[in-house]
Amino acid sequence: MEKLTNKEEEIMHILWKLEKAFVKDVLNEITDDKPHYNTLSTIIRNLEDKGYVGHNAYGKTHQYYPIVKKADYRKRFMSQAIDHYFNNSYKNMVSFFAQEEKLSVEDLKEIIALIEKDK
């Protein structure tokens, strides 16, 4: 799975949400820094070249859909982030978020309960 640019990732989130979309549909979902139609079309075709997106042709119009599942992309992205930023340690990652006050004690207790439930 090839790494995506920030803009490609933004487009993938829209396609995951819409499930199937024409370029104009994707363009309507973008709120900030709206690209030109042709630029967006090129980005989507690049996603197709990278194997993230497929299409159905209706004459000269294409309806695009994600091939890579959001869960699969998230798993790969998170694994890379944990490896690069936390020395491949989930403990370091959780500790980081707790120290940054992104996780409360209650959140941590819920996580522990979920882990113990799955054992």
Per-residue pLDDT of the chain (119 residues; tens, 9 = 90+): 788 999 999 999 999 999 999 999 999 999 888 999 999 999 999 999 999 999 999 999 999 999 999 999 998 888 888 999 999 988 888 888 888 878 888 888 888 888 888 76
d(CA 27, CA 108): 39
Q: Is residue 43 part of a domain?
A: yes
- Give the single-character DSSP code of 65: E
Q: Is residue 74 part of a domain?
A: no
Q: Look up the domain containing 39 and give its range.
A: 6-66
**What is the model's pTM?**
0.78
E strand intervals along the chain:
53-58, 61-66
Q: Is residue 1 part of a domain?
A: no
Q: Is residue 81 part of a domain?
A: no
Give the CATH number, domain containing residue 16.
1.10.10.10
- The SS3 call for residue 80 is helix
Total count of residues recorded for the chain: 119
How far is residue 4 from each of residues 10, 13, 17, 23, 47, measured CA to CA in Å? Answer: 9, 12, 17, 18, 8
Q: Is residue 79 part of a domain?
A: no
